[in-house]
Structure 1
């Protein structure tokens, strides 16, 4: 999977799509929030009130989609400190890739690169 991931992303410009940022509710860990707070130089209460909400599973997610930090140019205003879920998307380079097959099925409907990786994986398996 790592080889397929690296090959795909050597030819993929995520700025052309940014579907992840436009339609997915990204999860924010406490560690993610800490980094963003330092970067934005705001206090935790202000950040949570302005940007976050708790979903039905008890996870912190953004209050709105598309992502508040996504600019009109498709660049992320907090790219250097973006959430781990954002940094790792579409998760096609995970060591235990098979453990996230349900997530991968969702991601191939959103991310053209994830779709391409899975299609290449399928063709390699059927050889």
Structure 2
């Protein structure tokens, strides 16, 4: 598996192939079978992976909160919801985004200061164990440039599907 510091560079080498593979899957993959493949690879690869040693997701993405997640997150930090919103949240057309990137709640040891109050989008990332992967392949391809596990999942799926890519000139 790639080191977290190597993912972005490795992704640049396979980016065109990954987007072509996305198109291939859209045309040829069975939705249920693909979900099973993603789930199996997700379980296998994350079983031996320490996300706290990476946290590229916390460094590269801007965290998203549902409105109902703001109050509990504020409480975890001992803040009022109003103070939390003013300090940490940027509202954009009804979306609640963390103002900072990398995430200001990321501890040096890779843990999140919000603990069990972190937003679902953070807890569930990279979503490779969720159903409906056929309809979210764009996000999967983009995540393969951030998360070493997602990168590995796509590489293994390409082998399973015997996918080859020829660069157009």
TM-score > 0.5 by shorter chain: yes
Larger radius of gyration: 2
| Shift of residue 102, structure 1, vs aligned partner | 1.1
The reply on whether 1:10 has 2:47 as its aligned counterpart is yes
The answer to whether the 8 A contact 2:41-2:153 is kept is yes
SS of residue paired to 1:109: coil
The reply on whether 1:26 has 2:63 as its aligned counterpart is yes
| Shift of residue 121, structure 1, vs aligned partner | 1.6
Please give the alpha-carbon distance, in whole angstroms, between the structure 2 residues aligned to 1:68 and 1:123. 38
| TM-score in terms of structure 2 length | 0.70
Taking only aligned residues, the RMSD between alpha carbons, in angstroms, comes to 1.5
**Aligned counterpart for 1:51 among listed residues 81, 88, 92:** 88
More helix by share: 2
Query: Which residue number corresponds to residue 8 of structure 2?
Result: none
The reply on whether 1:86 has 2:122 as its aligned counterpart is yes
Consecutive unaligned residues of structure 1, counting only runs of 5 or more, are: none
Query: Which residue number corresponds to residue 64 of structure 1?
Result: 100
How many positions carry a matched residue from both structures?
Answer: 126
